[in-house]
A and B are shown apart, each in its own frame.
Chain A
Amino acid sequence: DVKVTQSSRYLVKRTGEKVFLECVQDMDHENMFWYRQDPGLGLRLIYFSYDVKMKEKGDIPEGYSVSREKKERFSLILESASTNQTSMYLCASSYSRVDYGYTFGSGTRLTVV
């Protein structure tokens, strides 16, 4: 089975800190995605990537950036964390741009204080 691993299950950071959320998949998937999940809002796409060093903005990219230096790793970066970025962050991957079957990681619950 494909595994998507998010490095931290829970994180607590201070306002203004630079935060890195790491995601690694082990099955040579091309596509990788970062979503944030908030009650009543469902999942909202922050950024996605369909190749190494490629990135595309999703629906809510403000305040975030991403890095994909290797195919298996997709990092989400909060340049200067703010309290409104307190959320559950979910990473997902899929085989290609015509394959919509996502595999999700377990999520990182980030609290910014």
Chain B
Amino acid sequence: AQSVTQLDSQVPVFEEAPVELRCNYSSSVSVYLFWYVQYPNQGLQLLLKYLSGSTLVKGINGFEAEFNKSQTSFHLRKPSVHISDTAEYFCAVSDLSGNTGKLIFGQGTTLQVKP
């Protein structure tokens, strides 16, 4: 079965510093990969997705992620964070078995941006 591991539960960082949120997945087949963000008291919204093609994917709000097939990773990066980036971030992988359209989510990483 596919699984997703987000290696850090919390990442504190100062404003304007770079950040990387780590995500590894387990799968022996091709996958689609996603990052979602959840701001306080809101649902999740899509940041970016990798379906195929270029391994560097750019998303909203200046975020980008790199798909690394050999390391089965899909780490999220931003060169300079803002206070408004404080949120919980979820990595997700498609479950391609059974053609159900299901996503499997990681445990989440809380990004805390300090002034």
Contacts and interface: CB of A to CB of B under 8 A. Distances in A.
Interface stretch (A13-21, A62-70, A72-80, A94-102): A94-102
Contacts of B101: 31, 48, 50, 94, 96-100
B105 A48 contact: no
Dominant secondary structure at the B interface? strand
B65 to A, nearest CB: 15
- Interface-centre pick from A43, A92, A99, A106 (highest chain B CB count, 10 A): A43
Interface residues of B, number: 24
B72 interface: no
Interface residues of A, number: 28
Contact of B32 (A33, A97, A100): A100
A33 B104 CA distance: 12
Contact of B90 (A43, A45, A94): A43
A19 B41 CA distance: 21
A106 to B, nearest CB: 5
Interface in B28-74: 32, 34, 36, 41-46, 49
Contacts of A31: 100-101
Contacts of B108: 40, 42-43
B9 to A, nearest CB: 7
Interface in B1-43: 6, 9, 32, 34, 36, 41-43
12 contacts: A31-B101, A43-B90, A45-B102, A56-B100, A90-B44, A96-B101, A97-B101, A100-B32, A100-B94, A104-B43, A104-B45, A106-B43
Interface of A: 4, 31, 33, 35, 40-45, 48, 50, 56, 58, 90, 92, 94, 96-102, 104-107
Given A43-B108, A92-B44, 5 more contacts: A48-B101, A90-B43, A97-B100, A100-B34, A102-B103
